[in-house]
Chains A and B, each alone.
Chain A
Amino acid sequence: MNKRNLFIGAGAVVVIGLLTVISATRWSDARAGAHPQASAASAEMIARGAYLARVGDCAACHSVQGQPPYSGGLRMETPIGAIYTSNITPDRQHGIGNYTLADFDRALRYGVANGHTLYPAMPYSAYSSTTPEDVAALYAYFTREVRPAAVPRRENEIPFPLSMRWPLTIWRLAFAPEPRAFQLKTDDAMLRRGAYIVEGLGHCGDCHTPRGPALQVRALGAAGGPAYLSGAMIDGWHAPSLRNGDSTTIGAWSEADIAQFLRTGTNRHGIAFASMNEVIANSTQFLSAEDAAAAAHFLKSLTDPTSGKGAYAYDPAVSQSLRNGDASARGAQLYLDNCAACHRPDGKGYEGVFPALAGNPVVTAAPPDSVIRIILEGMTTARTAGTPAQFSMPSFARRLSDQEVADVATFVRDSWGNRGAPVAATDVKRRATAREEAKP
């Protein structure tokens, strides 16, 4: 579940009081002029809206398995209680059937609906750069194509007085940008398109950009500085840097590699797992080839100033040792006993079935959490139209002790040319404990 902590200390209360009157003023700001004009929806418009809903991955939050599409009800935990996503089908009573285009736009880009500010779990910070035409297309799709579902809105489980929403307005004013026309000064149309998708509806930075003490993303776009897409922890996994750097990032990936990854979840370098599996299954597999290429193009344009270790080069020494029967390195025997059957003694895996560990940024990422966690929990690949077969890695939590997990993780991070720091058993224990706590 998404967790949020909207308060950063008692000091915030003072600020809250002072600004209350301000929020009342900003609250009613309609600025109607900025909203897209309503117009008759065309079939083409609706189709584009359907495509954009996929790019923005609305279903990930507003659709719940077993319930009608977009009827809401996904539970998201916060430290002050749980909230539920809204029914955004065109049902008049329980959904947005009575929404005007302006109402829809206000929710999507401004984060205001029904007269109050929405919880930031709804990623309106990223959606703020959506063009009016795209907003209208989304509106057309949701009000014309999506079937109405009379599913009542679930009441949030936040007790009074914490349930008062006015502090949210302060957060929004401080950290959510004024909706603005998307601007990127470049003649490269592909670059511009890619930025529009990644910074906007794709809201990739919500996961791949680190956050500040108020849980705000540190950069909302490339213009926000090198923090943007520089890698972050999300839901207990490490979402690696997407900037163009060295072997600890996707610097070694070509634009075609990145595009293939987004559309199928796999390329010669690795296979998506964890939260990214859901993004691919629900969203990026549906990117058009052009849009996927544009997104890739944009990502390659983001240089990583911290990189400097040089390009990855495969080192066959470890593989040769294993072939020769030498498994004396720390974790090597464990790797043979547990991992080599699938990921192969040479670390190259089998493209499209078992990911390569050699030269894989996830493997060498600075926080080793993802490596540790996938060893403990296992994982199954995403199913896409292009890759109908799903492949699984089993859990080794029962088979390997914390020390053994640390040893084998250390081995894969330091073999075949990988240059990742060693992993300690305490790192594993922390991750394992959190996992235990997560059990229902």
Chain B
Amino acid sequence: MKPVDAVIIGYGWTGAIMAKELTDAGLSVLVLERGPERDTATDFDYPRIADELKYAVRGDLWQPLAGETVTVRHKPGEIAVPYRQYGSFILGTGTGGAGAHWNGQQWRASPNDLRIRSVYEERYGKKFIPDDMTIQDYGISFEELEPYFDHFEKVTGVAGTAGGNPYEGKRSNPFPQQPLAPILSSQLFAEAARELGYQPFAVPAANSTAAYTNPYGVRMGPCNLCGFCEGFGCFLYSKAAPQTTIIPILKGRNNLKVLHNAYVTRILLDGSGKLATGVRYIDANGKQVDQPAAMVVLASFQLNNVRMLLLSGIGKPYDPVTGKGVVGKNYAYQMVSSTTAFFDESVNMNPFMGAGAAGQQAIDDYNADHFDHSKHGFVGGAMIFAGATGGRPIVQMPLPPDAPRWGSGWKSAVRKHYAHTSSVATMGSVMSYRDRYLDLDPTYRDAHGVPLLRMTFDWHPNEYKMTAFTSARAAEIVTAMKPQRMSQRILKPGDSYDVRVYQSTHNTGGAIIGTNPSNSVLNRYSQCWDVPNVFVFGASSFPQNIGYNPTGLVAALTYFAAAKIRSTYLKTGGALVHA
């Protein structure tokens, strides 16, 4: 195979960003994407896309678990079993990755999220953070990332209200678009929140409010609240996805080649193990190919990134007993609760009108370090938000907890509540702990015979306290919405992590950014300490998870590193940070 300057593994959000940046810099780039080629006209066309069963239940746009999945156990020492059916999180595949079917809520991290250990120790004392909580600062400041948060918002045409969120870090520019008007459930939420003294604001939405042309010259259409958003590709070109924002400009580039159905199985290293020589992949014809490259960009999504490093022998696998090793360390996730308001028939929610993010409202008062934690005894917090994403009847049918699950009672409840219900959710942060990590499963393999990734994870008291506190606030707001009745679904102490119930696809960590090789896999430019010509992008960089959706921070870290790669690494090579 002819060598290329750079191989990019994965053509999702980070892969598309890096393909743009590196081809702009004149590099010859090969993108290897394991899934099929997908575009709006061929794969998300109307009316075929308006199919809840196919896309939101069977998940035809998601990674087929039959070929590859992860195994899960709650505690070290237990037997891990495969995540055989979709539940807790959803994985992307094909052009656009998970970015093709995400919601489009696009957040910036809070400034203190980036230096969380320092902030908590300064404010509440060193003892406040439990010994087995392995959180750490990123080593990058919000101010350094702000220009890239801003750029990505312009690329995706985010609709939001500058100044709307009083806790947001200082921004250099307003949002490129004004938000869409809130839908009824959001209106009721916002009114109640204001009543209680909060400052609700429009959730920043990468669902375009109007026809919009991004800095790359790519045109997007406006969102009309079609109701088939998360889990689906957008037929209206309204939702920002790699194929509606970046990839059109990359088509036809002479220095870019994209291979689909190309499954990378490992990064190849030289004899010293300190330099990547390329990647090995299985091509669309089932042949194994070794592709030489001067630089390898790992952009395959957080779980796959960690697996790839482990399979390739890059870095030392984390050992939870000794605490040594870093690859797989600090796996974190998201803790979500929902509080549902049931109104009477006079309140027509029209729940089928909705988007992944457009039309939603939120408060950020109890997120990050936006409030005094000293009396609450937990680290972190949650964003509280309201809005419908579609009211699709198979999956999105909230009923009171006492409604029967089947039979005439179920029918009556469905009939009564479907169009008159609203939910308020808390999106809570999850901290890293010693006993949460990723490694390779000793037993199970994927369809190519390659070992699967094993996830060891269960909840800790910190999360139960956090979600109890923030959910209580949500309940107050819902009460102020004056529903006929309400119910809550909150995880409580004793509830183990349940893979059957969807939380989010905000899996983080395992290949974390840090200040030195003993506490991280990557330096601040997402470069591998051990193998400097390997760069890893995605939420795998997060030392712990934030109380927001991750993609804004993922992209900012990527653009931040890309700028350094273009300005320095491509001239000098080698380590960008010396340990």
Q: Is the CB of A353 within 8 A of B217?
A: no
A351 proximity list for chain B (CB < 8 A)? 211
Question: Taking the nearest CB of chain B, how far is it from the CB of A16, in angstroms?
Answer: 49
A399 within 8 A of B: yes
B312 proximity list for chain A (CB < 8 A)? none
Q: Is the CB of B45 within 8 A of A389?
A: no
Q: Is the CB of B221 within 8 A of A341?
A: no
Residues of A350-395 at the interface with B, using a CB-CB cut-off of 8 Å, are 350-354, 380, 383, 386-392, 394
Q: Mark B225-257, 1 if CB is under 8 A from A, else 0.
A: 010000000011100000010001101000000
A338 within 8 A of B: yes
Q: Is the CB of B219 within 8 A of A353?
A: yes
Q: Is the CB of B47 within 8 A of A389?
A: no
A353 proximity list for chain B (CB < 8 A)? 211, 219-221, 236-237
Question: Taking the nearest CB of chain B, how far is it from the CB of A351, in angstroms?
Answer: 5
CB < 8 Å: which of A344, A380, A383, A389 contacts B237?
A389
Least CB separation from A337: chain B residue? B47
State which size class the interface on B falls in: 20 to 34
**Assembly CA distance A392 to B43 (angstroms):** 11
Q: Is the CB of B219 within 8 A of A389?
A: yes
Least CB separation from A386: chain B residue? B217
A334 within 8 A of B: no
CB < 8 Å: which of B42, B226, B235, B251 contacts A383?
B251
Q: Mark B332-354, 1 if CB is under 8 A from A, else 0.
A: 00000000000000000000000
B237 proximity list for chain A (CB < 8 A)? 353, 389, 391
Residues of B195-223 at the interface with A, using a CB-CB cut-off of 8 Å, are 210-211, 213, 216-222
B265 within 8 A of A: no
B40 within 8 A of A: yes
CB < 8 Å: which of A352, A354, A383, A399 contacts B213?
A352
A338 proximity list for chain B (CB < 8 A)? 47
CB < 8 Å: which of B41, B210, B224 contacts A341?
B224
Least CB separation from B218: chain A residue? A389
A342 proximity list for chain B (CB < 8 A)? 46, 221, 235-236
**Assembly CA distance A389 to B220 (angstroms):** 8
A383 proximity list for chain B (CB < 8 A)? 248, 251
Q: Is the CB of B222 within 8 A of A350?
A: yes
Q: Is the CB of A354 within 8 A of B221?
A: yes
B220 proximity list for chain A (CB < 8 A)? 353, 389
**Assembly CA distance A213 to B346 (angstroms):** 69
**Assembly CA distance A361 to B462 (angstroms):** 65
Q: Is the CB of A390 within 8 A of B216?
A: no
Q: Which of A344, A354, A399 has most B Cβ within 10 Å?
A: A354
CB < 8 Å: which of B40, B42, B224, B249 contacts A388?
B249
**Assembly CA distance A378 to B373 (angstroms):** 58
Question: Taking the nearest CB of chain B, how far is it from the CB of A206, in angstroms?
Answer: 28
Least CB separation from B48: chain A residue? A394
Q: How many residues of A contact B (CB 8 A)?
A: 20
Residues of A382-440 at the interface with B, using a CB-CB cut-off of 8 Å, are 383, 386-392, 394, 399
A389 proximity list for chain B (CB < 8 A)? 218-220, 237, 244, 248
Question: Taking the nearest CB of chain A, how far is it from the CB of B398, in angstroms?
Answer: 26
Q: Is the CB of A352 within 8 A of B219?
A: yes
Residues of B316-330 at the interface with A, using a CB-CB cut-off of 8 Å, are none
Chain A at the B interface: mostly helix, strand, loop or mixed?
A: loop
**Assembly CA distance A231 to B222 (angstroms):** 33
Q: Is the CB of A350 within 8 A of B218?
A: no
Chain B at the A interface: mostly helix, strand, loop or mixed?
A: loop
Least CB separation from B244: chain A residue? A389
B244 proximity list for chain A (CB < 8 A)? 389
**Assembly CA distance A354 to B210 (angstroms):** 12
**Assembly CA distance A399 to B216 (angstroms):** 36
Q: Is the CB of A390 within 8 A of B211?
A: no
Residues of B157-215 at the interface with A, using a CB-CB cut-off of 8 Å, are 210-211, 213
**Assembly CA distance A391 to B251 (angstroms):** 14
**Assembly CA distance A383 to B253 (angstroms):** 13
Least CB separation from A352: chain B residue? B219
A392 proximity list for chain B (CB < 8 A)? 40-42, 45
A341 proximity list for chain B (CB < 8 A)? 46, 224, 226, 235-236
A380 proximity list for chain B (CB < 8 A)? 41
Q: Mark B10-46, 1 if CB is under 8 A from A, else 0.
A: 0000000000000000000000000000001110011
**Assembly CA distance A342 to B46 (angstroms):** 9
Least CB separation from B41: chain A residue? A392
A391 proximity list for chain B (CB < 8 A)? 40-41, 219, 221, 237
B218 proximity list for chain A (CB < 8 A)? 388-389
Question: Taking the nearest CB of chain B, how far is it from the CB of A347, in angstroms?
Answer: 14
B222 proximity list for chain A (CB < 8 A)? 350
**Assembly CA distance A399 to B47 (angstroms):** 9
**Assembly CA distance A344 to B226 (angstroms):** 12
**Assembly CA distance A399 to B45 (angstroms):** 13
B48 proximity list for chain A (CB < 8 A)? 394
Known pairs A341-B236, A380-B41, A394-B45; A388 contacts B216 (CB<8 A): yes
Question: Taking the nearest CB of chain A, how far is it from the CB of B443, in angstroms?
Answer: 45
**Assembly CA distance A391 to B211 (angstroms):** 13
Question: Taking the nearest CB of chain B, how far is it from the CB of A131, in angstroms?
Answer: 33
Q: Is the CB of B217 within 8 A of A388?
A: yes
Question: Taking the nearest CB of chain A, how far is it from the CB of B538, in angstroms?
Answer: 25
Least CB separation from B224: chain A residue? A341
Q: Is the CB of A390 within 8 A of B221?
A: no
CB < 8 Å: which of A352, A388, A394, A399 contacts B211?
A352
Question: Taking the nearest CB of chain A, how far is it from the CB of B433, in angstroms?
Answer: 44
Q: Which of A344, A388, A390 has most B Cβ within 10 Å?
A: A388
Q: Which of A350, A351, A387 has most B Cβ within 10 Å?
A: A350
CB < 8 Å: which of A344, A387, A394, A399 contacts B219?
A387
**Assembly CA distance A389 to B243 (angstroms):** 9
B235 proximity list for chain A (CB < 8 A)? 341-342
Q: Is the CB of A388 within 8 A of B41?
A: no
Q: Mark B48-76, 1 if CB is under 8 A from A, else 0.
A: 10000000000000000000000000000
**Assembly CA distance A392 to B45 (angstroms):** 8
Question: Taking the nearest CB of chain A, how far is it from the CB of B181, in angstroms?
Answer: 15
B226 proximity list for chain A (CB < 8 A)? 341
Least CB separation from A387: chain B residue? B219
Question: Taking the nearest CB of chain A, how far is it from the CB of B244, in angstroms?
Answer: 7
Known pairs A351-B211, A352-B211; A387 contacts B217 (CB<8 A): yes
A388 proximity list for chain B (CB < 8 A)? 216-218, 248-249, 251
Residues of A33-84 at the interface with B, using a CB-CB cut-off of 8 Å, are none
**Assembly CA distance A116 to B221 (angstroms):** 53
B213 proximity list for chain A (CB < 8 A)? 352
B211 proximity list for chain A (CB < 8 A)? 350-353
Question: Taking the nearest CB of chain A, how far is it from the CB of B161, in angstroms?
Answer: 23
Question: Taking the nearest CB of chain B, how far is it from the CB of A342, in angstroms?
Answer: 7
B236 proximity list for chain A (CB < 8 A)? 341-342, 353-354
B224 proximity list for chain A (CB < 8 A)? 341, 344
Least CB separation from B45: chain A residue? A394
Question: Taking the nearest CB of chain B, how far is it from the CB of A381, in angstroms?
Answer: 9
Q: Mark A145-188, 1 if CB is under 8 A from B, else 0.
A: 00000000000000000000000000000000000000000000
**Assembly CA distance A391 to B41 (angstroms):** 7
**Assembly CA distance A386 to B213 (angstroms):** 11
30 contacts between A and B (CB under 8 A): A338-B47, A341-B46, A341-B224, A341-B226, A341-B235, A342-B46, A342-B221, A350-B222, A351-B211, A352-B211, A352-B213, A352-B219, A353-B219, A353-B220, A353-B221, A353-B237, A354-B236, A380-B41, A387-B217, A387-B219, A388-B248, A389-B219, A389-B237, A390-B41, A391-B219, A391-B221, A392-B42, A392-B45, A394-B45, A394-B47
Taking Cβ atoms with an 8 Å cutoff, the residues of B that contact A are 40-42, 45-48, 210-211, 213, 216-222, 224, 226, 235-237, 244, 248-249, 251
Given contacts A342-B46, A389-B248, 11 further A-B contacts (CB under 8 A): A350-B221, A352-B213, A353-B211, A353-B221, A354-B221, A387-B219, A388-B248, A391-B237, A392-B40, A394-B45, A394-B46
Closest 4 CB pairs of A and B: A392-B41, A353-B221, A388-B248, A389-B248
